[in-house]
Amino acid sequence: MEKCLHCDTALEVIKDRTYRYKESGLDFVYLSGVLQYRCPKCGETSVEIPRVNDLHLLIGKALVCNKGLLAGDEVRFLRKEIGMKGKEMAAALSMEPETYSRWENGKRGVAPCHDKSLRMMYVMSASEKFGKVLSRDSISILSTIAIDKVPKKTRGKIKISSVEWLHGLDEPIFGEACYAV
């Protein structure tokens, strides 16, 4: 039985409750099928999230396959997953670091051409890091990632079941299924 780190009380296991995964830096990612714990004495909560790399690949896929322009927090998520600093990303996109910073802070919208470049950088980076990310026809997949020029006013939730990432990602995640998201 798990014990609370603060008061050493036995933790209650919470099952079948959707978990809002704020640790991703995105307020709209919800996970189902993860174990959550709560201390009945002090109220402290914790969650058990295995295979975080696979989970983040699925979040990245949902962002890349979304037709609306990327929002600031989504840009930040993709950059961090690529493993670059803000200044490095600005240089890679041939832009001023201040302009890039305004994107991540939500003070300025992302230009469609830069949006698509960032998505492609993420897909290529993820493919190099983890393999089996792109299908064989990667050029047609990357060329069909369409961006609506007007950002969505309300984003839909990204809902990911633990079954989607806990059993491993054996098949390429960017294939025709990408466009069903």
Per-residue pLDDT of the chain (181 residues; tens, 9 = 90+): 688 988 999 999 998 899 999 999 999 999 998 999 999 999 898 999 989 999 999 999 899 888 889 999 999 999 999 999 999 999 999 999 999 999 999 999 898 889 989 998 998 888 888 776 666 666 666 666 656 655 555 567 888 888 777 777 766 666 655 544 4
Do 65 and 153 belong to one domain? yes
Residues of the domain holding 40? 12-48
131 and 58 assigned to the same domain: yes
Are residues 87 and 117 located together in one domain of the fold?
yes
99 shares its domain with 168: yes
Residue 1: inside a domain, yes or no?
no
Asked whether residue 56 is domain-assigned, the answer is yes
**Same domain flag for 35 and 61:** no
pLDDT tens digits for 133-145?
666 666 666 666 6
| 151 shares its domain with 163 | yes
Chain mean position to CA 174:
14
Decide if 4 is inside a domain: no
What is the domain count for the chain?
A: 2
Measured CA to CA, the distance from residue 147 to residue 113 in angstroms comes to 9
Average pLDDT, the chain: 84
Residues 112 and 65 in one domain: yes
92 and 83 Cβ atoms separated by less than 8 Å: no
Same domain? For 19 and 106 the reply is: no
Is residue 84 located within the same domain as residue 40? Answer: no
On whether both 57 and 119 belong to a single domain, the answer is: yes
Rounded to whole angstroms, the Cα distance separating 71 from 56 reads: 17
Question: Is the same domain home to 67 and 125?
Answer: yes
Check residue 27 and report its DSSP letter: T
Pair of tokens at residue 131 = 């393999």
